[in-house]
C-alpha cells in the first residue's frame, strides 16, 4: 500500500518536476515518506475523475521549508502502477497498487530519431534549452513528454501505453500536428511563456488554433 497524491497533473517515469506542499494532510504524507524513505503515488484527478494509472514519485530535494511546515520539493517519477483499491483510514489516501513495466520490444531507432528531430524543432520554436542526452535514454518518450505541449488527457494516454515504440508513434503524430499549427499561426507568441523554459511550454488546444485536423 502506498500514499496517494491525487493532482491535476500527470507524472512520467524519469520526469523531474517541482511541487509546493501546503495542505496539512500532504505535509504529513511527505514527512512520512521522507522519514521512512518511501515513494508516494501521483495520480491524475481530472473533471472529478480519479484515473486508474499513475506513477510513483521520489523526493529528490527539499528546495525550501517554511516555518509553517509548507515545503517546496523536487520529485522524480519512478514506476507506473495500476490502482486496485483505495484506503481512507488516514488523513490522506492510500492505495493498493499493481506495478507494471513495458512489454519488451526493441526500440525503433529510426522512429526515435525522427521524433527527436521534431521535439528539438519544437524546443527551438519555444526558444527553450535543448538537451540531446534525453534522446538516447531507454524511455526517452517519457522525458520528451514533459516539454511536448501535451494536454493532460494526451499525457495520461501516453503514460498508459506499454511499449516505447507506441509512445514514440503517439508523440510523432502529436508533434507533427502541433508544429504545423504553430508554423501557420502567429498566435505562437501567445503560446510561449516569456521565460523560455521548456517545462513551462503550455499544453496546447489545437482546436482553438483553427484549421483542419
CA distance 17 to 146: 9
Q: What is the mean pLDDT of residues 90-94?
A: 94
Give the residue-averaged pLDDT of 23-43.
95
Q: Are strands 49-50 and 2-7 parallel, antiparallel or unpaired?
A: unpaired
Residue 80's nearest CA partner among 142, 171, 150, 127 is: 142
Helix (H, G, I), strand (E, B) or coil at 164: helix
List, for residues 157-210, the tens digit of each pLDDT value.
999 999 999 999 999 999 999 998 888 765 545 545 444 444 545 555 555 554
User: How large is the average pLDDT for residues 33-60?
Assistant: 95
Q: Domain 2-99, what architecture?
A: Roll (2.30)
- What does the DSSP 8-state code read for residue 199? G
- Where in the chain is CATH 2.30.130.40? 2-99
From CA 130, how far away is CA 144, in angstroms rounded?
11
Cβ neighbours of residue 200 closer than 8 Å, sequence gap 6 or more: 193
d(CA 172, CA 161): 14
pTM: 0.82
Based on the number of CB atoms within 10 Å of its own CB, is 158 exposed (0-12), middle (13-18) or buried (19 or more)? buried
pLDDT of residue 187: 52
Amino acid at each position: 500500500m502506498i500514499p496517494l497524491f491525487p493532482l491535476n497533473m500527470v507524472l512520467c517515469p524519469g520526469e523531474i518536476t517541482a511541487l509546493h506542499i501546503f495542505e496539512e494532510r500532504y505535509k504529513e504524507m511527505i514527512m512520512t515518506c521522507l522519514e521512512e524513505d518511501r515513494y508516494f503515488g501521483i495520480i491524475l484527478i481530472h473533471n472529478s475523475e480519479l484515473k486508474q494509472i499513475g506513477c510513483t514519485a521520489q523526493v529528490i530535494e527539499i528546495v525550501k521549508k517554511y516555518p509553517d511546515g509548507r515545503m517546496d520539493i523536487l520529485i522524480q517519477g519512478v514506476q507506473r502502477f495500476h490502482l486496485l483499491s483505495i484506503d481512507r483510514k488516514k488523513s490522506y489516501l492510500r492505495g493498493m497498487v499493481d506495478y507494471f513495466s513495458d512489454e519488451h520490444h526493441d526500440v525503433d531507432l529510426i522512429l526515435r530519431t525522427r521524433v527527436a528531430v521534431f521535439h528539438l524543432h519544437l524546443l527551438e520554436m519555444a526558444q527553450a534549452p535543448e538537451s540531446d542526452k534525453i534522446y538516447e535514454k531507454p524511455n526517452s518518450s517519457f522525458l520528451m513528454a514533459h516539454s511536448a505541449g501535451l494536454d493532460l488527457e494526451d499525457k495520461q494516454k501516453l503514460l498508459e501505453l506499454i511499449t516505447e515504440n507506441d509512445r514514440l508513434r503517439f508523440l510523432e503524430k502529436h508533434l507533427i500536428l502541433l508544429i504545423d499549427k504553430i508554423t501557420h499561426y502567429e498566435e505562437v507568441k501567445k503560446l510561449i511563456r516569456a521565460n523560455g523554459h521548456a517545462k513551462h511550454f503550455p499544453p496546447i488546444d489545437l482546436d482553438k488554433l483553427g484549421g483542419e485536423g
